[in-house]
Structure 1
Amino acid sequence: MQNNAEHRILLVNDDGIEAPGIKLLENIARRFTDDVWVVAPDEEKSGASHSLSITQPVRVREVGDRRFAIKGTPTDCALLAVYELMTDRRPTMLLSGINRGANLAEDLTYSGTAAAAMEGTLLGIPSVAISQVFVLGGDTHWATSERFLPPLLESLLAWEEWTPGLFVNINFPDVPPEDVRGVRVTTQGQRPPGAFIPERRLDGREVPYYWIRLSYPEGNAHPDTDLEAMLHNQVSVTPMHLNLTAHEARASLARAMPKDLPTGD
Structure 2
Amino acid sequence: MDEDGRATGTLLVNDDGIDAPGLRLLEAAVGTDFGAVTVVAPTDERSGASHAISASHPVRLHRRDDRHVAVHGTPTDCVLLAWYELMARARPGLVLSGINRGANLAEDVIYSGTVAAAIEGALLGARSVALSQVVSLEAGARTQWETARRMLPEVLDFLVAQPWPEGILYNVNFPDCPPEAVRGMRITAAGRRPPGAFQPLRAVDGRNVPLYWIRLSYPEGAAPPGSDLEAIADNAVSITPLQLDLTAHRHAARLADALGGHGG
- In structure 1, the partner of 2:202 is 200
1:27 is paired with a residue of what secondary structure?
Answer: helix
Q: How does 1:25-40 map to 2 (within 5 A)?
A: 25-30=26-31, 32-33=33-34, 35-40=36-41
Greater shift after overlay, 12-21 or 218-227?
A: 218-227
Distance of 1:28 and 1:156 partners within structure 2:
16
Contact 1:170 1:238 in 2 (8 A): yes
Cα pair 1:196 1:213 within 8 Å, conserved = yes
Residues 189 and 220 of structure 1 are in contact (CA less than 8 Å); yes or no, is this contact kept in structure 2? no
Query: 1:228 corresponds to which residue?
Result: 230
In structure 2, the partner of 1:173 is 175
Distance (Å, rounded) in 2 between the aligned partners of 1:129 and 1:40 = 14
The amino acid across from 1:149 in the alignment is: L
Question: Taking structure 1 as reference, are residues 36 and 122 closer, same or farther at Cα in structure 2, changes over 3 Å only?
Answer: same
1:254 is displaced (CA, Å) by 3.2
State the SS of the aligned residue for 1:23: helix
How far apart, in 1, do the equivalents of 2:246 and 2:222 lie?
A: 21
1:157 pairs, out of 120, 142, 160, with 160
Aligned partners of 1:219 and 1:227 also within 8 Å = no
Closer, same or farther in 2 for the Cα pair 1:188/1:14, shift >3 Å?
Answer: same
Give matches, 1:104-115, under 5 Å.
104-115=105-116
**Distance across 2 between alignment mates of 1:187 and 1:151:** 20
Please state how far the C-alpha of 1:213 moved relative to its aligned partner: 0.6
CA distance in 2, matches of 1:89, 1:123: 14
Paired positions, count = 260
CA distance in 1, matches of 2:177, 2:17: 24
Q: 1:213 aligned to 2:215?
A: yes
State which drifts further: 148-157 or 161-170. Answer: 148-157
Preserved CA contact (<8 Å) 2:7 2:35: no
Give distance in 2, aligned partners of 1:204 and 1:253: 54
Deviation per CA, 1:35-71: give whole Å up to 9, x if none: 1000000010000001110000011110122110001
Per-residue deviation, 1:31:
5.1
Closer/same/farther in 2, CA of residues 252 and 33 from structure 1, 3 Å limit: closer
Equivalent positions of 1:5-20 (< 5 A) are 6-20=7-21
Cα distance between partner residues in 1 of 2:244 and 2:5? 26
RMSD: 1.8
State the Cα distance separating 1:217 from its structure 2 match: 1.4
- Answer yes or no: is the 8 Å Cα contact 1:9–1:29 preserved in 2: no
Tell me, yes or no, if the aligned pair for 2:97 and 2:115 is still in contact at 8 Å: yes
Contact 2:193 2:223 in 1 (8 A): no
Q: Which runs of 4+ in 1 moved over 3 A?
A: 1-5, 254-261
Structure 1 gap segments, 5+ residues each: none
Q: Deviations over 1:219-258 (max 9, x none)?
A: 4432210000011011000100011111121133335559
Q: Which runs of 5+ in 2 are unaligned?
A: none
% same residue? 57
Aligned to 2:151: 148
Alignment partner of 1:105: what SS?
coil
How many Å separate the matches in 2 of 1:62 and 1:4? 30
